């Protein structure tokens, strides 16, 4: 099995990188059977973005702080663990952000696409699902669309629902909403087309972010799931991502 080890810049990750390369060798990304990122969730997301067009499975090892997206770090049985790992398939969201100046920026998100106010003034956003206006004016800090993989990240901290892996649904979650008073979000089919129209965007500027890619001063953001893009992430059977997401609902 040809492994490609990738490391974040932390001392802990670099130390693990040296130990694993010495033991298992290291191959170029173009020749690898499996990519093994060493670091935290942020580095894992970065690597997954790089792997979207490579079709090589990823087996992350936690050398960061939280490591929700990672497997536990061990050196001595890596090949056996990869052989026994469970394959989890992730599909990203596509963000098309239309800026006030007429530019259009596109990016993909594994966790979520979020809109956030840029100033002290609240954002005013129209919510459109499948060309049907669902909310004429959402007033608050912003709004997001989250995938099942991202439902336990920013979405959960904004009081959005936890979505089991494999579900053909997405979460639409407001961020600190003020109006409508009682709306706390929605669950929509993964094939739905979502559009957020920023109202009075010059007075109340809004930015859009796809994972860690930010576009400022947007006036409309279109979001859809890209089912044609599959990212294969490998997890230990006893501690896979599906179980972790399920368990988050009971903690």
Active site residues per annotation: 41
Distance CA(242)–CA(142), nearest Å, equals 28
Distance CA(74)–CA(87), nearest Å, equals 19
User: Residue 209 in contact with residue 113, Cβ under 8 Å?
Assistant: yes
Helix ranges (DSSP H) in the chain: 11-24, 41-50, 78-84, 154-157, 241-247
- Specify the 3-state DSSP secondary structure of 244: helix
- 181's CB contacts (< 8 A; 6+ apart) are none
User: Residue 91 in contact with residue 214, Cβ under 8 Å?
Assistant: no
Helix ranges (DSSP H) in 25-116: 41-50, 78-84
Separation in Å, CA 167 to CA 17, 137, 158: 35, 29, 20
């Amino acid at each position: 099995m040809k492994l490609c080890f990738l490391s974040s810049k932390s001392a802990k990750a670099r130390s693990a990188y040296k130990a694993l390369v010495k033991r298992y060798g290291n191959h170029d990304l173009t020749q690898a059977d499996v990519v093994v990122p060493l670091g935290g969730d942020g580095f894992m997301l970065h690597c997954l973005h790089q792997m979207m067009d490579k079709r090589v499975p990823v087996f992350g090892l936690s050398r960061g702080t939280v490591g929700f997206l990672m497997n536990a770090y061990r050196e001595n049985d890596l090949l056996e663990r990869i052989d026994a790992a469970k394959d989890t398939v992730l599909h990203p969201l596509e963000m098309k952000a239309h800026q006030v100046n007429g530019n259009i920026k596109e990016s993909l998100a594994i966790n979520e696409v979020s809109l956030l106010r840029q100033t002290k003034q609240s954002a005013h956003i129209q919510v459109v699902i499948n060309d049907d206006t669902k909310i004429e004016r959402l007033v608050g800090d912003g709004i997001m669309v989250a995938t099942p993989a991202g439902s336990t990240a920013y979405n959960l901290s904004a009081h959005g629902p936890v979505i089991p892996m494999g579900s053909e649904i997405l979460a639409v979650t407001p961020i600190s909403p003020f109006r409508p008073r009682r709306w706390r979000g929605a669950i929509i089919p993964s094939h739905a087309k979502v559009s957020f129209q920023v109202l009075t965007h010059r007075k109340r500027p809004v930015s859009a972010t796809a994972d860690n890619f930010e576009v400022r001063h947007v006036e409309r953001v279109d979001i859809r799931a890209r089912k044609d893009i599959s990212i294969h992430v490998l997890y230990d059977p006893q501690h896979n991502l599906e179980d972790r997401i399920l368990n988050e609902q009971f903690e």
